[in-house]
Structure 1
Amino acid sequence: MYEFTEDCMIHIDNIDEEHRKLFQMLNEAFALVKETDNAASIAKNLIDNLKDYAITHFAHEEDYMKSIHDPELPIQQREHKAFAEKINTFKLDESSPEAARNSLNELLLYLTRWLYSHILSSDMMIGKMAPETNVDDAFAFTDKYITGIELVDEEHKHLFDIIRDTNDVIHAELLHDKYDEIIRLLSELREYTETHFSDEEELMKKIGYPEIEAQKRAHSAFVEKLVNIDFRELEAMDDNQEEYLMDLIGFLLGWLSNHILASDKKIGKYIKEHNIVLEK
């Protein structure tokens, strides 16, 4: 059973309730597939119900984002579209009853993982990114981000630096091979993020941090977001390439800032409250 856990709450009541309903529908779907001897006979209705509810939810979510002028809306719309395309292009393997069951379970597992990742990486940012940002200050790793954990703070600062460098390249009109440099920096960001999350999770494990599983889920969702950046799609863009990149940079910076303030600083607080001495 897949749980709608506390770390999936974005604290917008209607959206949280619809997310909870989607998890419930997915769990019920898994149960139906397990109980039936003929998965092919239930596949269409099951998938149609999930698709219809998801589309309704996406519409509600996008309407809310429009109402608050959320700058992340274009990214959300692209992700919602990708989800719909995945369901619409699904072909059930009906070569045997077992194949049909496995095929349907694979789709449900994909949708569940997508939902977890989408909530923890994208939906978590709804309402948290200001429509207008002071670019001069946005990329500064200021004291408000300090966790008090030297290694973590150093790695966070480096992540801010990579995002700043990427933003600078996007705006460098005269730079030769600009696209190649952007790809290099985004690849560096992904690799360094994975290193940082690994270091942070190892630290949490050592100190017995009680919220480590929620942190792992958030980390996994963010890394998946980075991995799924389609460089080929980016290269093929013409007029909208810079707009897409600016949306992406805004999201990456916003997610990192919010994650540090809402989650990572709690690690430092936990260490202090429990008088834990970290090895140098």
Structure 2
Amino acid sequence: MEQVNSQEAMIWRSEYNINNFKIDNEHQKLFSIAREALNIAKLQNHLDKNSKLKEVIIKLFEYVDLHFSHEEEYMEKLSYPEFSNHKILHENMLEMLKKLISEINTMELEQIEKELNDFIEKIFVQHIIKEDKKIQLWNTSLDDLKTNFGWKEIYSLNNPELDKEHKTLFKIAEEAFAIVEPELKHEKIKNILNKLYEYMKTHFSHEEKYMEEISYPNIEIHKELHNNIANTINDFVKELPSLSEDSFEKELARLIDVTIVHHIIQEDKKIITWLKANSNQSDS
């Protein structure tokens, strides 16, 4: 069975921007180096492959190290409240690459590829797209977040049923930003989140059934992501009473961005991309 194309995850999209020209350019450069690594992994000549993989891993380490220092300067300048935790994530990722470089001469080619792919998944999917995006969300006014929020055609999977349900998720989420009396806000948010949670469960069930029908190879990973989203929403509902009025709408915007927008454009698109690739191979 054909696996999901890893290179699909390495396509830069404007939604990944954190609205800092220097940082966004460096992220695009990192995507470019990651694509270079994935292309090398497909080489047939094993001697060239091993040598080139070592070169690109060292290149990746050097650029990641430089980029992280710039990103940390930016977070300090903003007085970003999660700076310390974010810096620890940076340190952990650099350690991953250091370990890979120090052991590379004793590793089999297949193991090098696996370690590299694991790192790329963590730094690009988990870090740039999720953790770095939190910086932008924190640094954006609530009014701007509300203005820019909503369904966009770039989110389309070109699957009518899935797109219809995704649009409904956005409509429910938009209700959370409707103006109500201050004393009613917490209760309103709680009710809408419960509504969102119930509809998500229905949608996830349909999406998982669809993945089963097409024999999607990463279905178990995708199901786990669905579970994580459901747990995140539940945790947020529990935290609502303790959040100040100034922060809970901003937290809601961040939650929706991470759980809906980036799940659709990063994970759900993998399903459709894999299906197209498989359909093309079947037709050829």
TM-score by length of 2: 0.50
Deviation at 1:270, TM superposition (A): 2.5
Q: What is the 5 A alignment of 1:1-280? A: 66-67=75-76, 73=82, 125-129=130-134, 130=136, 131-132=139-140, 134-135=144-145, 137-168=147-178, 172=179, 174=181, 177-231=184-238, 233-237=239-243, 240-275=244-279
Residues 223 and 176 of structure 1: CA distance in aligned 2, closer, same or farther (over 3 Å)? same
Residues 192 and 65 of structure 1: CA distance in aligned 2, closer, same or farther (over 3 Å)? farther
Secondary structure in 1 aligned to 2:157? coil
| Structure showing the higher helix proportion among its residues | 2
Match of 1:160, as an amino acid?
Answer: F
Residues 121 and 270 of structure 1: CA distance in aligned 2, closer, same or farther (over 3 Å)? closer
Is contact 1:162–1:189 with CA below 8 Å preserved after alignment?
Answer: yes
Match of 1:135, as an amino acid?
Answer: L
Is contact 1:121–1:255 with CA below 8 Å preserved after alignment?
Answer: no
Match of 2:256, as an amino acid?
Answer: L
Could you tell me how far apart the structure 2 residues matched to 1:163 and 1:68 are? 32
Structure with more relative contact order (C-alpha pairs < 8 Å, separation 6 or more): 2
Residues 236 and 128 of structure 1: CA distance in aligned 2, closer, same or farther (over 3 Å)? closer
Structure 1: 5+ residue runs without aligned partners? 1-5, 7-11, 14-62, 78-119
Is contact 1:234–1:241 with CA below 8 Å preserved after alignment?
Answer: no
Could you tell me how far apart the structure 1 residues matched to 2:276 and 2:150 are? 25
Could you tell me how far apart the structure 1 residues matched to 2:74 and 2:200 are? 28
Residues 165 and 149 of structure 1: CA distance in aligned 2, closer, same or farther (over 3 Å)? same
Match of 1:249, as an amino acid?
Answer: A
CA-atom RMSD in angstroms: 4.3
Identity percentage over the alignment?
A: 24
